Structure 1
Amino acid sequence: MHIHILGICGTFMGGIAVIAKQAGFRVTGCDANVYPPMSTQLEDQGIELIQGFDAAQAELKPDVFVIGNVVTRGNPLMEEILNRGLPYISGPQWLAENVLHDKWVLAVAGTHGKTTTTSMLAWILEDAGLAPGFLIGGIPQNFGLSARLPGEPRQEPGGKSPFFVIEADEYDTAFFDKRSKFVHYHPRTAILNNLEFDHADIFADLGAIETQFHHLVRTVPGQGLIVANGRETSLDRVLARGCWTPVERFGAAAGWQVGTVYDDGFEVLLDGQSQGRLQWELLGEHNQQNALAALAAARHVGVPAAQGIAALAQFRNVKRRMEVRGTEHGVTVYDDFAHHPTAIDLTVAGLRRKVGQARILAVLEPRSNTMKLGTMKQLLPGSLQQADLVYCYGANLGWDAAEALAPLGERARTFDDLGKLVQAVVADAEPGDQVLVMSNGGFGGVHGKLLDALRHKGA
């Protein structure tokens, strides 16, 4: 069976491509923007990519076109599909019908931390020998790929794992299905990591997102489990609208908690009782909370907390999550996916705790749909307070980045030319500085450009 995926280089649709190929489908796909790491992963899997959405691709005559939510009306290929009455389906629905329908699904939802927490949970199950399938919006370094089908459990040679771990996004499914993606997944174990206003291009306000989260809650069976952040009043409101499933909380006075914090990790508590000490290198309180959520969900499928803690000691974070891209002349360049002001704040704070008084040079591209709308521009200065210098790439924004960052004074500069931004960072950088690049896109390959310019600085 042949599927042709529109929008194949998005993290979610690229994951579907990998899973479909493993399942024996012939997979082709197209997209307008192709950049690593997803393009590299698809090429490594032998999946044929076509640049652009020209209508002639209808002549490939797949059994079905799988439509990503990047595709809109007016897209030439989509218009040809509609005009000719060709079969099509959304990515989430295809996944639900072809992969998830008979699985114990563990879904990780939330405004922040979905990718990291999903990766942690998948790794805990993998380390326990449960061989889960997974689809993650990034590439976990423990696995080296973003998606796979369930494998053979260590406890059941010759069998197939019933478990599938999925990053459960609240963004809409497709132009013809405006429900959140996650309502298609029907999880038995659901993590609700946090809930803030985001995706201003499709949600009018926080209440609209809470409604979608409640739709997810309504699909979790009574014999399942909801693992919820106990600090989030928004999630309290979601659950108060109706919940028919046991709930375990983390981060609050009861349930899963962070105990004593050490330089190399922290103690894990459950209802005040120590479950063990997690020793790892991940930065930030947000990752401590992510770990608690993953441990709780893993325990629901039979992995004891102590075993989960031992697994997380070997966890390697996802690419583009505080990933060190290189060091030149004593200047270290990091790559991070942070783009929402809360995520930016947590990321900078985590790096600050790691590097102490060393200078942090924050390089920011506010390119998400929400940020482009300017909905949260007033929150940016506060999220960057712990950075010493800020460089913002403001091209193609519908608002004035320099004006928005004015409260930071001379610490912040904005650029419409990427080359000039790179020159400014390199001119300011000194040995010992930490350059933190934050964007949810390719950012024009700025990481490599910075490292290359640093390498030749003063030559």
Structure 2
Amino acid sequence: MSNNTKQRLHFIGVCGKGMAPIAAALAREGWRVTGSDEGCYAPMSDYLVQAGLVISTPYNEHNIPADTDLVVVGKRVTEDNPELQWVMRNGFDYCSFPQFLNRHFLMNSRNAVVAGALGKTTTTAMLAWILEHAGRSPNYFVGGLADNLKSPARLRSGAAIAVLEGDEYASCFDDRQPKFMHYRPEGVLVTNVLEDHPDLYDGMESLLEVFIDLVKLLPESGCLVLSEDDEATPRLRREAGCRVISVGSDEMADERIEDVKLEKECSRFRFGGVEFKLGLFGRMNVKNAAMAAALADHFGVSYAESALAMAEFKGIANRQEKTLVGSHVLVSDKATHPSALRGFLQSLRQQFPGRRVVLVIQPRATGGQDWVYQKQLPGALAGADEVMLLPSYEHRPGAGRVWKGGNFSLERLHQELVAVGTACVVLMGGAGLSEALMAGLKPGDVVALSLLEQSRHLLGVVEQALGRSPDTRVAVDMTLI
């Protein structure tokens, strides 16, 4: 069947962060799409139903329509899944969603891939918005909800340009290639390369190898955009067979970020001789915007046009997301890596100078005591005035493996924060959190919240403790604070 034919598709694991936006985008474009998952809950279930999808739970071979042309298999679907077993037994065609995008949407378009440990979702959305604002109407796939874009994904036949968030994780159970290896890039932007997932890559060298593989996909006419101060940049530059642009404030950068002004209301900087104004905060977002502009220039959008788009860019859900709750500002962010948390806290100092910042965090414990989380979290969290530690969460090592140095120690983190003079308390869960907030907060405090997705229910606990129930949340008016 032709790759341009709109087939009947079934998505196994449709509620995944990548699978759901793609399934919904295809349904909006007239593809016949069904999907299944072990469980699908609001708001994801509502999002998929609004897109016209029929979602079945739990997994069962009868969920798959008999006239299905192709089955798309999610990353977390294992080989013993009953639907997948039925598909393989009956000879149905199946693939991962990166393979699907490759076959059906990326063969004839100019593709820009944004990768890296931190900032890739925001930077992908920035690049997609720049191209959209400039009238290029790109296809795109963003791993989050961007206020400027109508949906996380758009997949239209015949689009000339596609912007894709790419990651280094395996595509599906029988395709261990990183997802970004399927995306046929003409342009690649790497925000940074940081050790983050020891359950997948056991060190910097093995991680760097997959990014080198990505860079080697670029054609001679392509473009690679890198962060000047990232330690992986020299190696990636050497491996590239195309134009390379390093971006940063250092004199060694190919394209320099200059005259940075981190103001309470916005961030300003000059890049490529053009003045930029950005409604996001922190140096990390300044660099994200500049790197997006650099790659947009390769695709024919001038820095001046990028500056106009960035002046209207509104950010990503759950990234520095602010609400006004009683006399407090609550700022939610998905930051877990020490570098991301350091940047998050610095952005709060920019927005709320002189205010006390109380950080509520569920530390990510992956990697044990010899990994970056245990080692670097004390220095990162010291940027807060007070830290409230919730029980940690970790991706366990594979069968037969143990973390070097033993499991992550919340007690050690607490002791090291106290040793550097940061007020810190260890909490057992939601009840203790509510009591600690009501007892310890002062009028005007900024409450920063870093929770893993598995613990997002605690957002309601925090809001109630601050004096407002979840159903009466309002977006914060920055003129009031």
TM-score, length of structure 1 as denominator length: 0.89
In the TM superposition, 1:187-266 aligns within 5 A as 187-240=185-238, 242-251=239-248, 252-253=250-251, 254-262=253-261, 263=263, 264-266=266-268
Correspondences of 1:286-325 after superposition (within 5 Å): 286-324=284-322
Tell whether the 8 Å contact from 2:345 to 2:384 is kept in structure 1 after alignment.
yes
In structure 2, relative to structure 1, the CA distance for the partners of 1:88 and 1:313 (3 Å cut) is same
Conserved? CA contact 1:227–1:248, under 8 Å: yes
Taking a change above 3 Å as real, the CA distance of residues 174 and 369 of structure 1, as seen in their structure-2 partners, is: farther
Partner of 1:156: none
Q: Which runs of 5+ in 2 are unaligned?
A: 1-6, 395-406, 470-481
From 421, 433, 441, the equivalent of 1:421 is 433
Report the Cα distance in structure 2 between the residues aligned to 1:445 and 1:144, rounded to whole angstroms. Answer: 26
- The question of 1:386 aligning with 2:388 is answered no
Q: Which digits, 9 at most, give the CA deviation of each residue in 1:355-398, with x for residues without a partner?
A: 12211121222358668996622221111111122223216556
* Partner Cα distance (2:156, 2:450) in 1: 33
Q: CA, structure 1 residues 209+38, in 2 after alignment: closer, same or farther (shift >3 Å)?
A: farther
Going from structure 1 to structure 2, the CA distance change for 1:328 and 1:266 (only over 3 Å counts) comes to: closer
Maintained 8 Å contact 1:171/1:199: no
Secondary structure in structure 2 of the residue aligned to 1:287: helix
2:443 aligned to which of 424, 431, 447: 431
> Which residue of structure 2 aligns with residue 173 of structure 1?
171
Alignment match, 1:154: none
Taking structure 2 as the reference length, the TM-score comes to: 0.85
Kindly indicate whether the alpha-carbon contact (under 8 Å) linking 1:150 and 1:163 is maintained by their aligned counterparts in 2.
no
Q: Alignment partner for residue 20 of structure 1, among 22, 26, 45?
A: 26
Distance in 2, matches of 1:371 and 1:307, equals: 46
Which stretch shifts more, 56-65 or 84-93? 56-65
Match of 2:119 among 113, 118, 122: 113
Moved more, 38-47 or 201-210: 38-47
Say which is worse superposed, 204-213 or 368-377, in terms of deviation: 368-377
> Structure 1 residues 22 and 202, CA, compared in 2 at 3 Å: closer, same or farther?
same
| Paired residue type of 1:277 | E
Partner SS, residue 257 of structure 1:
strand
SS state at 2:447 partner: strand
| Per-residue CA distance 1:302-334 (angstroms, 9 max, x = gap) | 11101111110010001111011x222211112
Out of 66-75 and 122-131, give the one that drifted further.
Answer: 66-75
Q: Secondary structure at the match of 2:103?
A: helix
Aligned to 2:335, the other structure's residue is in SS state coil
Q: 1:92–1:161: structure 2 CA closer, same or farther, 3 Å change rule?
A: closer
Output aligned runs, 1:25-64, within 5 Å: 25-32=31-38, 34=40, 38-58=44-64, 62-64=68-70
Change (3 A) 1:82 1:367: farther
Q: d(CA) in 2 for partners of 1:10 and 1:372?
A: 30
Residue type at the aligned position of 1:425: L
Say if 1:412 and 1:125 are closer, same or farther in 2 by CA, change over 3 A. same
Native 8 Å contact 2:332 2:448 kept in 1: yes
- Give yes or no for contact 2:365–2:392 (8 Å, CA) kept in 1: no
Between 342-351 and 309-318, the greater mean CA deviation after superposition: 342-351
1:22-77: CA deviation from partner (whole Å, max 9, x where unpaired): 33222222234545654443232122223343454356663222111112233343
Q: Which moved more, 1:123-132 or 1:257-266?
A: 257-266
Aligned residues of 2:237 and 2:244 also touching (Cα < 8 A): no
For the pair 1:332 / 2:343, whether they are aligned, the reply is: no
Is residue 443 from structure 1 mapped to residue 441 from structure 2 by the alignment?
Answer: no
Tell me how far apart the structure 2 counterparts of residues 371 and 43 of structure 1 sit (CA, whole Å). Answer: 40
Residue 16 of structure 1 deviates from its aligned partner by 1.4
Distance 2:51 2:380 in 1: 39
More moved, 391-400 vs 184-193:
391-400
The residue aligned with 2:410 is 401
Q: 1:368 to 1:307 in 2, by over 3 A?
A: farther
CA contact (8 A) 2:111 2:162 kept: yes
Identity %: 30
CA RMSD of aligned residues (A): 2.5
Given that 2:195 and 2:372 are in contact with CA atoms closer than 8 Å, whether structure 1 keeps it comes out as no
The number of residue pairs the alignment matches comes to 443
* Contact 2:113/2:164 (8 A) holds in 1: yes
**Residue 136 of structure 2, aligned match among 116, 130, 139:** 130
Q: Any conservation in 2 of the 1:22–1:149 contact (CA below 8 Å)? A: no
Distance 2:200 2:325 in 1: 42
Q: Distance in 2 between matches of 1:255 and 1:89?
A: 40
The alignment status of 1:100 with 2:106, answered yes or no, reads yes
Specify the SS of the correspondent of 2:279: coil
1:192: how far off? 1.4
Q: 2:361 aligns with which of 360, 364, 368?
A: 364
Aligned-partner Cα distance in 2 for 1:376–1:221: 37
Residue identity matched to 2:303: A
